[in-house]
Amino acid sequence: MAGNDSVDILNSAYLAVEYIDSFLPDNPLQQPFKNAWNYMLDNYTTFQIATWGSLLVHELAYFLLCLPGFLFQFIPCMQKYKIQQDKPETWEKQWKCLRTLLFNHFCIQLPLICGTYYFTEYFNIPYDWERMPKWYILLAQCFGCAVIEDAWHYFLHRLLHHKRIYKYIHKVHHEFISPFGMQAEYAHPLETLILGAGFFIGIIVFCNHMILLWAWVICRLMETIDVHSGYDIPLNPLHLIPFYAGARFHDFHHMNFIGNYASTFTWWDKIFGTDSQYVSYQKKEKNQELSTEKKSK
C-alpha cells in the first residue's frame, strides 16, 4: 500500500507541474532552440552528434565555465572572495594544469565519448525533438544523476585517500593546495576513469533522450568547477540546491587533505563524520572573527 501511495503522490506532483506549465507563457528561447536542434538532426548523423557533438559540448562548457574564475585573479575587488588569499594562482601552475587537462580530455575522455553513439544505439535512446523531455523532467533527472554520482564519488574518493593508494593516483590532483576552476579535472588518468565512472551510472539509470547526456555534462561541470574555483562568491545560485557543499567545503579538502570527500552534497560526510575537522575549523574561524570584532569595538 505504501508503495502505491508513493506512486500516486509522484504522479499527482507530475500532473500538477504539467498543469502549471500549460499556463506559463512560451519560452522565447524554445523556438530558436528547436530550430537549431532540428537543423543539427537534418545535417549531421547520429554518430557525429553523439561523438563530436558531445566532445564540443564538454570542451565549450568546461572552458567557458572556467573563464570567470580565471579572470577573477586579475580583478582586485574579487580577491576578498578568494578563500585561501595567501596562495594566489601562478602562471606556471596554470600552464601545467592546462597541459595535463588537454591530455586527459583527448587521450582519456575522448575514447569514452566515442562510446556514446553505441550506448544510445544499444538502449534505443532517441534524438528527435518530439520525444525530448520537459525542462522540469530534465532538471529532476540531472538532480538524480548528481545524487548517484555523489555517492560513488564519496566512497571511491575516500578509498583513493587510503595511505597505500594515495601516492600512486590521487596525489596528482592534490598537487594544488589552493584549487582553481581549471584544476577540476586535473588528475591521474586512472582517477579520471575511477571517479569518472560515477558520471555514467546516472545516465544508465535515467537517460531517455540524447539531451540528458549533454545537460548532465553541463550540470556536472558547473558543480565541479564551482567547488574547485577557490572563490566563495555571494549570491551563488548553486547554493539554492539543498545540502550543496560549495567551494569552501571542497577548498578545505584540498587544504587539509582529510575529510569532505563528497563531490556535490554534504550528507555522506555528515553521516560518516568525515566533516568533523571542517566543522571544527569553521567554529575556530567564527570565534576568531568574533574576537576581532570585539577588539575593534
Q: What is the pLDDT of residues 145-157, one digit of tens each?
A: 999 999 999 999 9
Residue 15 has pLDDT above 60, yes or no: no
What percent of the chain is predicted at pLDDT more than 90?
81
pLDDT score of 12: 52
Tell me how far apart the alpha carbons of residues 262 and 281 are, in angstroms, rounded to a whole number. Answer: 18
pLDDT score of 31: 87
Task: Render pLDDT for 30-45 as a digit per residue (tens, 0 to 9).
Answer: 889 999 999 999 999 9
Yes or no: say if 227 and 247 are a contact pair by the CB < 8 Å rule.
yes
Tell me how far apart the alpha carbons of residues 279 and 267 are, in angstroms, rounded to a whole number. Answer: 13
210's enclosing H/E stretch is: helix 210-227
pLDDT score of 154: 98
Confidence of residue 26 (pLDDT cuts 50, 70, 90): low
Grid cell digits, residue 159 = 578509498
Q: Map out the domains of the chain as residue ranges.
A: 46-296
Confidence of residue 4 (pLDDT cuts 50, 70, 90): low
pLDDT score of 7: 42
Nearest to 83 by CA among 204, 179, 189, 172: 179
Give the side-chain half-sphere CA count within 13 A for 141. 25
Q: Is 27 helix (H, G, I), strand (E, B) or coil?
A: coil
pLDDT score of 79: 92
Confidence of residue 6 (pLDDT cuts 50, 70, 90): very low
Grid cell digits, residue 105 = 580530455
Grid cell digits, residue 199 = 558520471
Grid cell digits, residue 172 = 596528482
Grid cell digits, residue 2 = 505504501
Which residues, including other chains, have CB under 8 Å from residue 110's CB and lie 6 or more apart?
A: 55
Give the largest CA-CA distance in the chain. Answer: 69
Task: Render pLDDT for 164-219 as a digit per residue (tens, 0 to 9).
Answer: 999 999 999 999 899 999 999 999 999 999 999 999 999 999 999 999 999 999 99
Residue 5 has pLDDT above 60, yes or no: no
pLDDT score of 25: 52
pLDDT score of 86: 87
Yes or no: say if 191 and 160 are a contact pair by the CB < 8 Å rule.
yes
Tell me how far apart the alpha carbons of residues 42 and 20 are, in angstroms, rounded to a whole number. Answer: 33
Average pLDDT over residues 110-131: 95
pLDDT score of 3: 44
For 88, 194, 250, 287, 288, the CA distances from 92, given in Å and listed in that order, are 12, 28, 23, 36, 34
57 class by beta-carbon count within 10 Å (0-12 exposed, 13-18 middle, 19+ buried): middle
pLDDT score of 289: 73
pLDDT score of 1: 47
Task: For residue 159, list its beta bridge partners.
Answer: none
Tell me how far apart the alpha carbons of residues 97 and 174 are, in angstroms, rounded to a whole number. Answer: 12
For 3, 102, 118, 157, the CA distances from 274, given in Å and listed in that order, are 33, 32, 39, 12
Q: What is the CA radius of gyration of the chain?
A: 21
Q: How many CB atoms lie within 10 A of CB 30?
A: 10
74 class by beta-carbon count within 10 Å (0-12 exposed, 13-18 middle, 19+ buried): exposed
Dihedrals φ, ψ of 82, to 5°? Answer: -70, 135
Tell me how far apart the alpha carbons of residues 179 and 126 are, in angstroms, rounded to a whole number. Answer: 39
What percent of the chain is predicted at pLDDT more than 70?
89
pLDDT score of 89: 85
Task: Render pLDDT for 215-236 as a digit per residue (tens, 0 to 9).
Answer: 999 999 999 999 999 999 988 9
Average pLDDT over residues 96-110: 94
pLDDT score of 28: 73
Query: Across the chain, what does the average pLDDT equal?
Result: 89
